[in-house]
Each structure stands twice: as structure tokens, then as C-alpha cells.
């Protein structure tokens, strides 16, 4: 396995114009590529407004204009790209929030469809329902790039530790999360959740948010960041458009797993209780 990976997180401000969004993304990726990097990462729904009732208007088939643009950019710049996410229309007509990743030759490495849809109601703060328009994905996505295993999640997926653990057990060295937390969830949970997943799974986490657009209905939090396996934020943006560069040294994964061997100490015999019904749990307690 390669021991290091240089990454660039492109925190873009998206608008209602898909062409403008792709142009801005292209310019920022070109700027990111002026440094010696291996992988560029874009935000969630980087080519459209993050507004659920508009998702059908911006949906694309695969292959389509945005994925063609990502593959071409990867090939021309000779760099891998995790293309944030777009609204994908399947051949059956279903819509998904999908992340497409490409290698430095423009070949598709993998596609992750968001598994956990963001349906929340926080009275007086935010109400949002992705499931009114989107279908959930049903596959856990692990790709390999330059010998490094990368788990792909999208935004709300990161809130479910079982999913991150599944990726870690499958060998993930890094989890990448295109995400669009908002001005309610961002201050409360952004750093907390991302640092927690890095510590829980003892690996790197890189999360890329859009920059907030004052004209948009949905205000993204920004603050794209990279967390090391010790839970330390090693690179972070503010709320403005910009690029965050980071150098990942995967010997840190090996070090923390050697010093604090969580995976050897797991009690799998105890965890089955998580998925039992309350009546089964109560019965088990009575039998002890």
C-alpha cells in the first residue's frame, strides 16, 4: 500500500446554473492541480442547488454531462477525482444522490448512492425531506486508488457508525464524505461527528462541504476538513470558497491501531443485542 496521499478539498459555492457550477468546479480543480496532488474531492450536489424540490430538474443519467466532465478533467489533469455528488437518474427513472469517483485516467472507480436520506424536522430551525424525491442506495462502497482503500459516504451517512465500521472492517484507510451540513446541524455536529468517526474507526476522514451561497434557500455550513486517526483536525476551511490541501500519512493508522488495538478488543459476542427486539433483550436479561 502507498503510505501517503496528497488530497485537495474544493469547497465550491453552487448556484442555480449548472453550467456555471461546472465552470467554477473546473477552474478550482485546475488550481488545485497546480500542486503535486493525487486526489481532488468535490462537495455534495456540487452542480446544482441543494433543494429537494429542484432535484428532478437537475437530475442526470450516467453517463451524462457532469460525469463526462469529471472523467475528462481527471484524464486531462492526471489526477483522481471524487466527484462530490450529483442527482442521478437511473434507467428505471429513480433519483439518487450519487458520488462518482474516477482514477487519473478517467476510468470509473466506483459509484456510491446515498444510503441514509436526510429527512429531518427541527421546528423553527430546519425541515428537509430528501425522500420526497430521492431513493436510498443499497450498497456499501469501497474503492481502491493507488493501493489505498477509500470508503465513500454522503453527508447523513456519516451519522451512522455501523456504516463507517463496515468500511473499516473491509479495510478502508480513508473515508471521504461529500456533505452539506447546514447552519443548524453544522455548529452542533460537523466537527463532532467527523472527529468521532475518525477516532471510532482509527482512520482518516475527509469531508467536503459547499460554501454557503447567500442567495440559496439551503445554507451549507462550509468548514471542509480533514481529520487524522487520532481525531485531530489537520486541515480546515472557513466558510468561503477555497481549497484545502492535506498530506495523509497512513502509517498513522497503523500506529494508533497498534497502540490502542480496538479491533482486537472488540466483543462481537456482545454486540448482537443491538439488533434484537426489546422483547428478546428483556428475555435475555431474565435468563441471566
pLDDT at 131: 94
Q: What is the CA radius of gyration of the chain?
A: 19
Confidence of residue 248 (pLDDT cuts 50, 70, 90): very high
More confident residue, 30 or 269: 30
Is 30 one of the annotated active-site residues of the chain? no
Long-range contact pairs involving 194-199 (C-beta distance under 8 Å, separation at least 24): 194/158, 194/225, 194/227, 195/227, 195/231, 195/233, 196/161, 196/231, 197/158, 197/161, 197/164, 198/227, 198/228, 198/229, 198/230, 198/231, 199/229, 199/230, 199/231
pLDDT at 109: 99
Does the structure show a pLDDT above 80 at 288? no
What percentage of the chain carries pLDDT values higher than 70?
Answer: 95
Does the structure show a pLDDT above 80 at 146? yes
Rounded Cα distance between 216 and 26, Å, is 21
Is 10 one of the annotated active-site residues of the chain? no
pLDDT at 89: 99
Does the structure show a pLDDT above 90 at 185? yes
How many beta carbons lie within 10 A of that of residue 120, not counting itself?
14
Average pLDDT over residues 117-124: 86
Measured between alpha carbons, how far is residue 26 from residues 39, 104, 176, 195 in Å? 14, 15, 20, 30
Give 181's contacts (C-beta < 8 A, 6+ positions apart). 155, 189, 190, 209, 220, 221
Catalytic residue among 10, 18, 44, 130: 44
- Measured in Å, how far apart are the chain's first and last C-alpha atoms? 47
Does the structure show a pLDDT above 90 at 216? yes
Q: pLDDT tens-digit profile of 38-73?
A: 999 999 999 999 999 999 999 999 999 999 999 999
Average pLDDT over residues 163-184: 97
Confidence of residue 126 (pLDDT cuts 50, 70, 90): confident
Q: pLDDT tens-digit profile of 7-28?
A: 999 999 999 999 999 999 999 9
Q: Show the domains of the chain with their CATH numbers.
A: 4-260 (3.60.110.10)
DSSP, residue by residue, the chain: --SEEEEEEEE----S-HHHHHHHHHHHHHHHTTS--SEEE--TTTTS-S-GGGHHHH-B-SS-HHHHHHHHHHHHHT-EEE---EEEEPTTS-EEEEEEEE-TTS-EEEEEE-SS--EEEETTTEEEEGGGT-------EEEEETTEEEEE--GGGGG-HHHHHHHHHTT-SEEEEE---BTTHHHHHHHHHHHHHHHHHTSEEEEE-PPP-TTSSS-B----EEE-TTS-EEEE--SSSEEEEEEEETHHHHHHHHHS-HHHH--HHHHGGGGS-HHHHHHHHHT-
Strands 242-249 and 233-236: unpaired
pLDDT at 277: 62
Angle between helices 18-32 and 65-77 (to 10 degrees): 20
Is 155 one of the annotated active-site residues of the chain? yes
How many beta carbons lie within 10 A of that of residue 65, not counting itself?
14
pLDDT at 127: 82
Catalytic residue among 18, 60, 88, 114: 114
Q: Considering the entire predicted model, what is its pTM?
A: 0.94
pLDDT at 78: 98
Average pLDDT over residues 125-149: 95
pLDDT at 271: 85
Mean pLDDT computed over every residue of the chain = 95
Amino acid at each position: 500500500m502507498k503510505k501517503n496521499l496528497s488530497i485537495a478539498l474544493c469547497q465550491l459555492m453552487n448556484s442555480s446554473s449548472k453550467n456555471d457550477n461546472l465552470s467554477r468546479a473546473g477552474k478550482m480543480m485546475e488550481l488545485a492541480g497546480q500542486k503535486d496532488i493525487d486526489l481532488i474531492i468535490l462537495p455534495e450536489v456540487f452542480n446544482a442547488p441543494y433543494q429537494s424540490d429542484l432535484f428532478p430538474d437537475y437530475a442526470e443519467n450516467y453517463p451524462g454531462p457532469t460525469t463526462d466532465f469529471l472523467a475528462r478533467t481527471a484524464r486531462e489533469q492526471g489526477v483522481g477525482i471524487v466527484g462530490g455528488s450529483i442527482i442521478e437518474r437511473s434507467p428505471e427513472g429513480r433519483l439518487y444522490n450519487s458520488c462518482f469517483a474516477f482514477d487519473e485516467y478517467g476510468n470509473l472507480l466506483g459509484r456510491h448512492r446515498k444510503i441514509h436520506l436526510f429527512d429531518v424536522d427541527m421546528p423553527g430551525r430546519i425541515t428537509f425531506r430528501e425522500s420526497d424525491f430521492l431513493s436510498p442506495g443499497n450498497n456499501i462502497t469501497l474503492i481502491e486508488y493507488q493501493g489505498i482503500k477509500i470508503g465513500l459516504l454522503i453527508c447523513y451517512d456519516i451519522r451512522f457508525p455501523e456504516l463507517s465500521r463496515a468500511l473499516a472492517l473491509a479495510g478502508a484507510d480513508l473515508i471521504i464524505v461529500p456533505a452539506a451540513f447546514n447552519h443548524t446541524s453544522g455548529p452542533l455536529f460537523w466537527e463532532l461527528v467527523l472527529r468521532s468517526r475518525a477516532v471510532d474507526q482509527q482512520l482518516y476522514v475527509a469531508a467536503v462541504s459547499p460554501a454557503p451561497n447567500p442567495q440559496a434557500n439551503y445554507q451549507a455550513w462550509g468548514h471542509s476538513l480533514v481529520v487524522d486517526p487520532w481525531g485531530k483536525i489537520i486541515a480546515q476551511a472557513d466558510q468561503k470558497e477555497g481549497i484545502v490541501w492535506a498530506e495523509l500519512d497512513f502509517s498513522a493508522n497503523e500506529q494508533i491501531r497498534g497502540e490502542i488495538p480496538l479491533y482486537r478488543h472488540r466483543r462481537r459476542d456482545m454486540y448482537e443485542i443491538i439488533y434484537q427486539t426489546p422483547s428478546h433483550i428483556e428475555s435475555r436479561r431474565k435468563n441471566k
